[in-house]
Each structure stands twice: as C-alpha cells, then as structure tokens.
Amino acid sequence: MKIEGRTFVITGGASGLGRATAEMIGQNGGNVAILDLNADLGKATAAELGPFARFFPCDVTSTESIARAVEGTVAWVKETGKELGGIVPAAGIANPGTILDRTGKPFDLSTFDLVIAVNVRGVIDTVRQFLEHLAQVPPVGPDGERGVIVLVASTAAFEAQKGQVAYGASKGAIAGMTLPMTRDLARYGVRVVSIAPSPFRSPMEAMMSEKVKKGLLAAVEFPRRSGEPVEFAALVKHSIENSMLNGSVIRIDGGMRLPSKM
C-alpha cells in the first residue's frame, strides 16, 4: 500500500520510535494523527513536524479517550480527503520489577496491571475502534487492500530479562495476537505485521543506567550499538509498502539475543 495520500494513526507518536515513524510518513506524502498522553509534547511534536501532522490527546487505557481521538481523526480525514491507511499503536511503557523482591515479597499488582493496560488493552482498544473506519475505506490496487496495522512488540516478547515479567508478558501478547488478528482481518483487506525491536535509542532507553546499557550492547552481534529510530521507521515503511508481509513478527535487533541478566 502506498503511504502517499493516506492518513496513519500513531499512538505514542510524540516521542521515540512513534515520532520517527510520524516523520517517515510525512516524508512519504502521508498525513499522521499523533495520539499521545503527553499533551505538551504531542502538540509541540505536531507543530514541529508541520501540517501533515495533527495531535489528538489520548490515554490509551481509556476507551472514551480513544473514542474522542477517533472522532477527531475521522473528522480530519474527511477534511483532508486523505483516507485512513493504517494504525501504528506504539504507545508503551516498561515499568520493571521482579515478581519477588529481595525480601521475598511479591510485587504490587498495580504495576503489572498498568503495563498490561497500556501495552495490551490499549493496543487492542485503539486498533478495535479505528478498524471500524479502516475496514470501510475503498479498497485499492489489484489486491483490494484497505490498510495495514503495524504492531510494536519487542525482543522482550521472546527473551525478556530479569525484572521484565510484566513487560515480557505484554510484548508476548502482541506477538501472540499478530496471527489471529491477521486471520480476522484478511476478508477486509487489512494486513497485520508486528515489529520486535532490540534496544533502540529513545527516551525509554535513556532511562537505563550506563551499566545496563553497556551490558545490553554486549549481547548485540553486529552492529554493536542501539538501533536508530529511523531504522525502526524504515521497517514500518517497508511493512506498509510490501503487501506480501502479513501475519509475521519481524525482529530488528542486530542479531541480539538477550541473556537472563547483565
């Protein structure tokens, strides 16, 4: 599917990998609806990117909040004539914590619940509400394609480390929902691809200690560095443009396989 002339929805689009994806969409002639919890950053990002980007405040843990963002986006799409083309639900949080602390006390379920609420329920709810509109756009091209959903998993879906029970569970869920969602949406001409990045340069990564960062990089084969957001965005671009990509979880990780701990 072509990016040009279409509107893509990016949650978490105010920062990191989501922001790089928004830039890529603009560079390729598409419009971007940036949905983010951080209203200041979201507004500033949309203003910096230019008229192809519009910010819609949204907390993906709230069905009503998503509904308002959907309404705003659909009205903008009508105004511009650039039909919906896809959804990239990139909003995510990590919130580490071991299931038992050093004294043998189990972690508080509220942390686990929040990670699942943002990274799993938030993804499903956003995709679900936008799909109602995406499934109705006129099919295009010889394949009758309507759109693409690019989910954001993580290499933690497969080898999450100590302290990543919640994050690993949430990203494992993204990997696990990729194929059934693909099968559900085939009849509508909507594809689903998941991308599973290793550590990429972003504010999320900047929060890690130097020791952890160094340890993580030691597990990368080549090139021994963090991924760059533009490299993530390039894979989103390819996932949108290559119609034979469907139902797969694609790792982008420089050959990295994470050990249990650093």
Ligand X SMILES: NC(=O)c1ccc[n+]([C@@H]2O[C@H](COP(=O)([O-])OP(=O)(O)OC[C@H]3O[C@@H](n4cnc5c(N)ncnc54)[C@H](O)[C@@H]3O)[C@@H](O)[C@H]2O)c1
Collapse the DSSP code of 97 into the 3-class scheme (helix H, G, I; strand E, B; otherwise coil) and give the result: strand
| Cis-peptide, bond into residue 142, ω within 30° of zero | no
For position 204 contacting ligand X by CB under 6 A, the verdict is yes
205 binds ligand X (CB under 6 A): yes
110: region left, alpha or beta (phi > 0 left; psi from -120 to 50 alpha)? alpha
For residues 88 and 150, the answer to whether their CB atoms sit within 8 Å is yes
Query: CB of 17: closest distance to ligand X in angstroms?
Result: 4
Which of 119/246 has CB closer to ligand X?
Answer: 119
Q: Does 200 bind ligand X (CB under 6 A)?
A: yes
Per-residue tokens: 50 = 């230019």
Site for ligand X in 112-151 (CB under 6 A): 118, 122
Cα 59 off chain centre by: 14
Tokens coding 119: 């990274």
Residues 42, 13 contacting (CB under 8 angstroms): yes
Q: Which stretch binds ligand X (CB under 6 A): 90-98, 184-192, 209-217, 250-258?
A: 90-98
Window 9-68: residues binding ligand X (CB under 6 A): 11-12, 14-18, 36-38, 58-61
Q: Report, as residue numbers or ranges, the catalytic residues.
A: 167
User: Are the beta carbons of 195 and 236 closer than 8 angstroms?
Assistant: yes
Q: Is 233 in the site for ligand X (CB under 6 A)?
A: no
Q: Hey, is 152 helix, strand or coil?
A: strand
- What x-and-dash track marks residues 144-183 binding ligand X by CB under 6 A? --------x-x-----------------------------
Instruction: Tell me the one-letter amino acid at 81.
Output: G
Q: Which is nearer to ligand X, 137 or 233 (CB)?
A: 233
> Judged by CB, which is closer to ligand X: 93, or 217?
93
Tell me the window of 85-93, 186-194, 240-248, 251-259 that interacts with ligand X (CB under 6 A).
Answer: 85-93
Instruction: Answer yes or no: are the C-beta atoms of 34 and 55 closer than 8 Å.
Output: yes
Residues engaged in binding ligand X (CB under 6 A): 11-12, 14-18, 36-38, 58-61, 90-93, 118, 122, 152, 154, 197, 199-200, 202-205
